Amino acid sequence: MYLEIITPEKKVFEGEVSEASFPGAAGAFQVLKGHAPLVSALANGLVGFSTAQGKSQFMIDGGVVEVLNDKIIVLAEKVLS
């Protein structure tokens, strides 16, 4: 799967991932290869994902996520340090 994490200022991450988890507005959820199409609001929390190099995570300050054809796009309000 391909993941992009974008803020209004910059692209924070882009690359291949094997799984990703999100702080959905109605509760946390995980996306795996072949996931059904989805658009969801995101709450403040951790976006985590696994790449060939290992696991990574970013703390976001809300946003939205779209999942379509094994491509995940996260439009985050802000990525916190």
Residues 6+ apart with CB under 8 A from 54: none
- Predicted TM-score (pTM) of the model is 0.93
Listed in order, strand segments (DSSP E) in the chain are 2-6, 11-16, 19-24, 27-32, 38-51, 54-68, 71-76, 79-80
Mean pLDDT of 53-75: 97
Mean pLDDT of 54-75: 97
Mean pLDDT of 55-68: 97
Q: Check residue 58 and give its pLDDT.
A: 96
Q: What are phi and psi of 79, to 5 degrees?
A: -105, 120
Quick one: 2-80 is in which CATH superfamily? F0F1 ATP synthase delta/epsilon subunit, N-terminal (2.60.15.10)
